[in-house]
């Protein structure tokens, strides 16, 4: 049995991963092996240091020297699998890990194209703010109205399909469960092998074979996913939690920039129906680069008085074909057992 280390953050357990090179020296540009006698355990990693001075520097400012993104592969992003502790690079004074040499070389060729950053908040004129709010009021009404949207406590969407990969067939299941206002649980399963990630307010964790808590940058990445969703955004708007700016009309679609918590999403609202038919934002495209992205919504179905889009096509801006298509056959709202997944696993 693996030795287990309790995570004080949410009660998850898992073995720490050893960073054998002195992290303080790495950030300074030098590769110096650490010693077993000089170590610190911090957020799922065990750091070895060459000197007591390095160890003291780490303890004084762990955020400066720790591996970034919770140890996830920096090329694939904070919500990806873990990188190798012996495969690293320093960029802009921060230490990153990688899953492979190809990931490392791709990252080093253009780090800023692969790192997630906060978006600038729009600075609307009074008229732009007024017009943006008027369009979102129309979208809120088309979605089911302020009371119905604010009354939504949970929403589950799921899809399942037979797929062929690596010469064999699998049942591929995916599910997205929202707990409003700030919870998201995502499941991806291939036959019996299941992986998940959960955001529950200020806590977050990965589930499945590699259960571990999320660090702040990973929770922020999940928050960005939430803040691209039209229902989440219109609920925030109904509660006065958005900065909005009317951004013109394009082919009969009104565009409104919506900003909250460092995330800007431009919603496209159909001029006739009032429905949100698109969302534009900076997101991960093929190859994991952060690119201009557009999600297009369809297949609206009523649940608990709210019209929920069940089909989503995600495009990298300028591409003719979507790189992701979600067609959800299962849609459930305000079901009590939907919220059970937001309870963290216990040791």
Confidence of residue 16 (pLDDT cuts 50, 70, 90): confident
| Residues 10, 115: Cα–Cα separation, whole Å | 26
What pLDDT does 346 receive? 67
Sheet containing 193-200: which strands, arranged edge to edge?
212-213, 203-208, 193-200, 183-190, 168-179, 154-165, 330-333
Domains of the chain as residue ranges with CATH: 5-113 (no CATH), 126-342 (2.50.20.10)
Q: Which tokens is 333 given?
A: 């709202």
Residue 177: the pLDDT is 95
Q: What pLDDT score does 338 carry?
A: 75
How many residues appear in the chain? 347
pLDDT at 17 over 60: yes
Tokens, residue 2: 């693996």
Can you give the pLDDT at residue 9?
A: 35
**14 falls in which pLDDT band (50, 70, 90)?**
low
**pTM of the predicted model, to two decimals?**
0.90
pLDDT at 29 > cutoff 70: yes
**Mean pLDDT score across all residues of the chain:** 92
| Residues in Cβ contact with 83 at an 8 Å cutoff, skipping those fewer than 6 apart | 67, 71, 72, 73, 74, 96, 97, 98, 99, 103
Question: Is pLDDT of 32 > 60?
Answer: yes
pLDDT band at 181 (very low <50, low <70, confident <90, very high): confident
Whether 336 shows a pLDDT value over 90: the answer reads no
pLDDT on residue 313: 96
Averaged pLDDT, 282-311: 95
- Mark residue 54 as left, alpha or beta (left: phi above 0; alpha: psi -120 to 50; beta: remaining): alpha
Confidence class of residue 347 from pLDDT cuts 50, 70 and 90?
low
Pick from 152, 57, 73: nearest CA to 114: 73
**Cβ proximity of 55 and 42 under 8 Å:** no
Q: Which of 139, 137, 145 is nearest to 276 (CA)?
A: 139
Instruction: Read off the pLDDT of residues 54-73 as tens digits, 9 standing for 90 and up.
Output: 999 999 999 999 999 999 99
pLDDT in tens, 230-269: 999 999 999 999 999 999 999 999 999 999 999 999 999 9
| Percentage with pLDDT > 90 across the chain | 83
Give the number of other CB atoms < 10 A from CB of residue 285.
18
């Amino acid at each position: 049995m693996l030795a287990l280390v309790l995570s004080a953050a949410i009660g998850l357990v898992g073995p720490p991963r050893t960073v054998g090179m002195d992290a303080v020296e790495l950030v300074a540009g030098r590769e110096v092996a650490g010693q077993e006698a000089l170590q610190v355990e911090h957020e799922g990693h065990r750091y070895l240091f060459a000197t007591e001075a390095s160890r003291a520097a780490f303890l004084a400012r762990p955020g400066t020297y720790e591996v970034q993104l919770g140890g996830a592969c920096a090329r694939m992003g904070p919500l990806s699998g873990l990188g190798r502790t012996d495969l690293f690079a320093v960029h802009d004074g921060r230490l990153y890990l990688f899953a492979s040499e190809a990931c490392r070389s791709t990252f080093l060729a253009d780090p800023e194209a692969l790192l997630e950053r906060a978006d600038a908040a729009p600075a609307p004129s009074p008229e732009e703010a007024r017009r943006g709010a008027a369009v979102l009021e129309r979208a809120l009404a088309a979605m089911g109205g302020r009371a119905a949207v604010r009354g939504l406590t949970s929403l589950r969407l799921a899809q399942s399909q037979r797929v062929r990969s690596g010469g064999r067939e699998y049942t591929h299941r995916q599910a997205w469960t929202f707990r409003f206002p700030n919870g998201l649980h995502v499941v991806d399963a291939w036959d019996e092998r299941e992986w998940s990630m959960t955001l529950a307010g200020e806590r977050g964790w990965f589930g499945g074979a590699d259960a571990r808590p999320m660090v702040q940058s990973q929770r922020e990445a999940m928050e960005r996913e939430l803040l691209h969703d039209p229902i989440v955004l219109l609920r925030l708007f109904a509660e006065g939690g958005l900065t909005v700016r009317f951004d013109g009309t394009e082919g009969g679609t009104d565009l409104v920039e919506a900003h909250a918590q460092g995330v800007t999403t431009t919603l496209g609202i159909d001029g006739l129906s009032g429905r949100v038919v698109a969302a534009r934002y900076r997101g991960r495209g093929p190859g994991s680069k952060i690119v201009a992205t557009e999600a297009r919504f369809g297949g609206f179905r009523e649940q608990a008085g709210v019209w929920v889009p069940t089909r989503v096509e995600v495009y990298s801006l300028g591409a003719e074909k979507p790189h992701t298509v979600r067609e959800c056959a299962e849609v459930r709202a305000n079901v009590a057992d939907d919220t059970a997944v937001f309870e963290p696993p216990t040791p």
